[in-house]
Copies of this chain bind each other. A is one copy, B any other.
Amino acid sequence: MTDSRLRGLLVPVATPFGADLEPDGDSLVAHCRWLLEHGADGLALFGTTSEANSLGVDERIRLLETVLEAGIDARRLMPGTGACALVDAAKLTGHAVAHGCGGVLMLPPFYYKAVGTPGLLDFFLALADRVGDARLRLYLYHIPQVAGVGIPRALVDALASRIPGTLAGLKDSSGDWEHTSRLLEDHPELDVFPGSETFLLDGLRHGGAGCITATGNVNPRGIRAVLDRRDEEDADALQASATAIRRAIEAYPMIPAVKALLARIHGTPGWQRVRPPLVALDEAAATPLWRDAAAAGLGVA
């Protein structure tokens, strides 16, 4: 259904933690609402930026239910449901699909390295089989520099052929525009999202679906503007502005930086907390980050 297809700006929603490092469901719901009100088309809960891999399977399930119970539209959600173990990935994915989520964004199993396309294909075919729900819309998550295991191009081709319709798209966080543009060219039936807004306008001009980006947590309006004015004269200037804000933020460790900015945007110091092994930005870093991001054009909503 075209009208419920997830496109545009998707945000891998940062996960707030209480002083005990337990997830703070109320603050998460509030942030989800703020994102949707400020230009996000969809919410990619439980992504890399969400510290999803620092959450247990049961925590991810409970948090998704918290967001849904708060009335956020499931069709706007593309939760991350990847895991090293197929049983965990199938449990998370089945749960998300059963609750009507618009899609799921899946890392490959990322512990064993140098695995080949046949084993990854087995994994995703078994996943689709175990979920056994025609509503599954699977987006593959290619972030080899973090996961250590990428989505080989041959895997995309094989899944596009073996489970057409179920394979809905891909998030390409490789930062390799050549890779992204070849995917866009060769798989027009897939919704390909660059993993950074720096490629948003280039992507849109080549058939891209939008972007799924960490900095969407703090600059949804700036990124929304690029989407809304993609065909207007100021499109490139708006892209340059969004890119400048991104550059200011990515000079710092991304996840702690996003959360330090959210602490200021939402006026909630606790937003700075991260779970180990990540380390929160200290004030000596958070202050210049805020200054640099503001200088680059980041506004407080």
Task: Output the residue of A84, A113, A149 with the most chain B CB within 10 A.
Answer: A84
Residues of B contacting A5 in the complex (Cβ-Cβ under 8 angstroms):
none
Report whether A110 and B113 are in contact in the complex, using a CB–CB cutoff of 8 Å: no
Per the bound structure, the CA–CA distance linking A55 and B85 in Å amounts to 5
- Is A267 interfacial (CB 8 A cutoff)? no
Q: Decide yes or no whether A88 CB sits under 8 A from chain B.
A: yes
Complex interface residues of chain A between 84 and 105 (CB less than 8 A to chain B): 84-88, 91
On whether the beta carbons of B112 and A277 are closer than 8 Å, the reply is: yes
Contact of A126 among B53, B85, B109, B276 (CB under 8 A): B276
Shortest Cβ distance from residue A293 to the other chain B in the assembled complex, whole angstroms: 22
Q: Which of A115-123, A182-190, A220-228 contacts the other chain?
A: A115-123
Contact residues, A106-150 vs B (CB, 8 A):
108-113, 115-116, 118-120, 122-123, 126, 145-149
Name, among A53, A91, A112, A279, the residue most crowded by chain B CB atoms within 10 Å (CB to CB). A112
Contacting B at CB under 8 A, from A29-80, are 48, 53-57, 59
A276's partner among B86, B91, B278 (CB-CB below 8 A) is B86
Judged by a CB distance under 8 angstroms, whether A275 is at the interface is yes
Q: How many angstroms from the CA of A289 to the CA of B107 in the assembled complex? A: 33
> When chains A and B are docked, how far (Å) is the Cα of A83 from the Cα of B278?
15
Interface residues of A in 265-283 (CB under 8 A from B): 275-279
Q: How many copies make up the complex?
A: 2
The reply to whether B112 and A53 contact each other, CB–CB distance below 8 Å, is yes
Centre residue among A84, A122, A277 by max chain B CB count within 10 A: A277
User: Per a CB cutoff under 8 Å, which of B53, B122, B276 touches A277?
Assistant: B122
Contact sample, A vs B, 24 pairs, CB 8 Å cutoff? A48-B112, A53-B109, A54-B84, A54-B85, A54-B112, A56-B85, A56-B88, A57-B88, A84-B84, A85-B275, A86-B276, A109-B276, A110-B111, A112-B146, A113-B146, A115-B277, A115-B278, A116-B279, A119-B276, A122-B277, A122-B279, A123-B276, A123-B277, A126-B276
Chain A residues within 8 Å of B, Cβ to Cβ: 21, 48, 53-57, 59, 84-88, 91, 108-113, 115-116, 118-120, 122-123, 126, 145-149, 275-279
Known: A54-B84, A54-B85, A110-B111. 4 other contacts (CB 8 A): A48-B112, A54-B86, A57-B57, A113-B148
